[in-house]
């Protein structure tokens, strides 16, 4: 079964680029990409470090606001085709003008205009810093976020390699974004264990965690997440593709949900992980017998945790009524 409509909270714009999209753009620009695709034309990587490298190599093809506008349209059309009516996307000033605020404004205007041109799906942007680029760049990214906060840009987040540094190194960036009124989320508890989730909660005071699934190894931490109403953006297909769990049946999503932690389901970087929103829902049905009731609850949870205004939230909740 699949459940419609769907809400997606964790999707990286560059990570949602289909290999064909990147190949076409590279051809148009006369760029040669090596080490990015396998013999069948899919993204090629062996592990998380390799994934991040290929992600950045493919992203290097995206150079202008126009490229980002085309990508936004392509990704939104693909999401809409999956039954998604509201999506929050991670947008990266690191790749869009190199964290220069006026360049970022140009890229952002192109993406926002592109999003407005696609009917039937609503988008908000989460400006995202990249942990392995370090705290200085994160601060510049936060300034880009603060300067453009409101309306379309409603959140600030952090992705990248969780093993780099400590969450506290990024506290200034998150404080800057919080003062600008942005919702906060950070990747943690994907490759880092429960301690990484704890550090993130303590230092960054986020209302959502990207992944967070390794919290399942620590019952006290699950209780804290439930008590503090912190929502996890769970991406089961991503976790299996990157080897966090060997297969969906071994994924702790059921135990996390049973502990009372608010959870939502997203795809992260769908073409990299050979997944779609429908595939995610099908996998959860197959592995855990989830049906309409479960899927309604996770989508209602997503709306509650969404970084959007109250009118949008109420309209989305109404669409989720049986």
C-beta of 76 vs 320, nearer to Zn ion: 76
160 counts as binding ligand ADE under rule CB under 6 A: yes
In angstroms, the CA 192 to CA 109 distance is 35
Distances 258 to 208, 252, 295 between C-alpha atoms, Å: 18, 10, 14
Contact status: 159 vs ligand ADE (CB under 6 A): yes
Can you read off the two tokens belonging to residue 277?
């929103």
CA distance 15 to 56: 9
Phi/psi of residue 221, nearest 5 degrees: -70, -40
190 binds, among Zn ion, ligand ADE, none (CB under 5 to 8 A by kind): ligand ADE
Q: Which does 88 bind (CB under 5 to 8 A by kind): ligand ADE, Zn ion, none?
A: none
Active site residues: 190
Binds ligand ADE (CB under 6 A): choice among 67, 88, 233, 268: 268
Give min distance, CB of 211 to ligand ADE, in A: 7
Q: Which does 271 bind (CB under 5 to 8 A by kind): ligand ADE, Zn ion, none?
A: none
Least distance (Å) between residue 313 CB and ligand ADE: 26
Q: With CB under 6 A, what is the number of residues at the site for ligand ADE?
A: 9
Q: Which residues contact 35 (CB under 8 A, 6 or more apart)?
A: 44, 54, 57
Nearest to ligand ADE of 185, 238 (CB atom): 238
Alpha carbon distance 124, 91 (integer Å): 10
Judged on CB neighbours under 10 Å (0-12, 13-18, 19+), 265 is: buried
Examine residue 238 and tell whether it contacts ligand ADE (CB under 6 A): yes
Q: State the nearest-atom distance from the C-beta of 238 to ligand ADE, in Å.
A: 5
Residue 292 C-beta: closest distance to ligand ADE, Å: 28
- Measured from the Cβ of residue 28, the count of other Cβ atoms closer than 10 Å reads 10
Give the distance, in angstroms, between the CA of residue 21 and the centroid of all CA atoms in the same chain: 19
190 touches ligand ADE by CB under 6 A = yes
Residue from 11, 269, 301, 302 touching ligand ADE (CB under 6 A): that is 269
Return residues touching Zn ion (CB under 5 A): 268
Strands 84-91 and 153-159: unpaired
Strand 153-159 versus strand 122-130 pairing type: parallel
**Smallest distance, Å, CB 316 to ligand ADE?**
25
Q: How many helices (H) and strands (E) does the chain have?
A: 13, 8
Question: Is residue 187 a contact point for ligand ADE (CB under 6 A)?
Answer: yes
Residues that bind ligand ADE (CB under 6 A): 12, 15, 159-160, 187, 190, 238, 268-269
């Amino acid at each position: 079964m699949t459940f419609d409509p769907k809400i997606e909270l964790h999707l990286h714009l560059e990570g949602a680029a289909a290999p064909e999209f990147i190949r076409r753009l590279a051809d148009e620009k006369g760029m040669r990409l090596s080490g990015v695709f396998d013999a069948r034309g899919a993204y090629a990587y062996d592990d998380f470090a390799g994934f991040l490298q290929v992600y950045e190599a493919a992203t290097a093809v995206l150079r202008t606001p126009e490229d980002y506008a085309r990508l936004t349209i392509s990704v939104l059309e693909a999401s809409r085709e999956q039954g998604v009516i509201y999506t929050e996307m991670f947008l990266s000033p690191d790749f869009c003008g190199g964290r220069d605020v006026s360049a970022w404004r140009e890229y952002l205007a192109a993406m926002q205009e592109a999003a407005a041109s696609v009917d039937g799906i609503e988008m908000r942007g989460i400006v995202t810093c990249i942990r392995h680029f370090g705290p200085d760049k994160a601060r510049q990214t936060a300034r880009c976020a603060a300067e453009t906060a409101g309306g379309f840009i409603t959140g600030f987040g952090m992705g990248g390699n969780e093993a780099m540094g400590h969450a506290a190194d990024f506290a200034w960036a998150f404080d800057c974004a919080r003062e600008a009124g942005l919702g906060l989320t950070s990747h943690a508890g994907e490759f880092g264990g429960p301690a990484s989730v704890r550090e993130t909660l303590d230092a960054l005071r986020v209302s959502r965690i990207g992944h967070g699934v390794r919290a399942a190894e620590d019952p006290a931490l699950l209780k804290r997440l439930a008590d503090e109403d912190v929502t996890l953006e769970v991406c089961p297909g991503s976790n299996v593709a990157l080897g966090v769990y060997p297969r969906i049946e071994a994924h702790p999503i059921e135990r996390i949900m049973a502990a009372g932690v608010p959870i939502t389901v997203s795809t992260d970087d769908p073409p990299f992980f050979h997944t779609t929103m429908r595939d995610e829902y099908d996998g959860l049905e197959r592995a855990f017998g989830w049906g309409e009731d479960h899927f309604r609850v996770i989508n209602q949870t997503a709306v509650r945790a969404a970084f959007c205004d109250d009118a949008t939230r109420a309209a989305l909740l109404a669409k989720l009524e049986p």
